Amino acid sequence: MTTILYIVLGVLVVLGLLAGLTVLLCMHAAKKVLHPVSKRKPLDAWPDQYALPYENVTFKTEDKVQLKGWFIPCEEYSDKTIILMHGWGMNRADIFKNTYFLRDLGYNLFYFDFRALGESGGKTSSIGYLELKDIAAALSFLKETRPQFCNKIGLYGLSMGGMVAICETARNPDIACVVAEASYYSFRRVVSRWAWVHHRVPYFPVLPIILHYIRKNLGVNPERYSPKYNIPKIAPRPIFLIHGRYDNLVPAAQAKLLYKKAGDPKEIWLVPGAKHNQCAVVGGFEYKQRLADFFRKYL
């Protein structure tokens, strides 16, 4: 009996150590998601490289995070502005190269870096929840400093930026229309998919622990801000969903679910052969044409 007892105790100790190690690893993973130091990269493109006049702008969020961006005025006066938002691990230059052509269609363009990314301040990224403070600050900055350009405002967002675009449009009646590219369906799903694609981490039992520590660190459940809960609130304002048919991080099925939940008017384009964040490159001229047609029609 004594030998059996020692064996049982030994097994319990090992299980306890494994459980403790699992928790520590999950805490580290949650921190890695929320504090993407390795994802902050320098800008590799600027408007003047494309002969575009622009202003460097700086503004602060309600929680005192300093954000940086560009305001690119239309060649001729326009009271219509498109705010363009990048994805997690990206910066404004990454989306600028594929969207600056919209200026030639009669729109002012406003790009900014989300917190903890690009040239903006802050150390915490939440893949959407905190970034809603960033778009709110961007809108306030525009209306306070350039009200003459804000008669009609449209949003464009890529990946995390798409989530922010959907949620901001849902809560803000001043937004006329929105384009959401490669947006995720729910926070829980995108974190789970990211963990599996990049690290082969299974959902159970690890992901619930990681999600718990993310909620604990943020002080809120970011799942409640997921696009699936917000996209129905956008109608009757128009939304255009763009998604790679072969998106490995956010499967195209999630775009279909969002489209189903959205009210009219709505459009969806699943780009053949495109993976995550590759719709512009793969779509080429058709990508620009569809984006231009949408904004011409609704902005």
Q: What's this model's pTM, rounded to 2 decimal places? A: 0.86
* Per-residue pLDDT at 219: 74
Residue among 125, 134, 168, 160 nearest 65 (CA): 134
Lowest mean pLDDT among 37-46, 100-109, 267-276: 37-46
Does residue 238 form part of some domain?
A: yes
Cβ(47)–Cβ(56) below 8 Å = no
Q: Which two tokens stand for residue 250?
A: 């956010």
The Cα 71–Cα 69 span in angstroms is 7
**200 in any annotated domain:** no
- Does some domain include residue 212? no
Average pLDDT, integer, range 167-186: 95
Q: What is the pLDDT of residues 194-243, one digit of tens each?
A: 665 555 666 556 566 666 656 777 777 778 888 999 999 999 999 999 99
Q: Quick check: is 36 in a domain? A: no
Residue 20: pLDDT over 50: no
Q: Establish if 234 belongs to a structural domain.
A: yes
Would 26 be classed as within a structural domain? no
In a domain, 201, yes or no: no
Residue 61 belongs to a domain: yes
CATH number, domain containing residue 123: 3.40.50.1820
The number of distinct structural domains making up the chain is 1
Domain extent, residue 159, equals 47-186+226-298
Note the pLDDT tens digit of each residue in 275-284. 999 999 999 9
Residue 293 confidence (pLDDT) above 70: yes
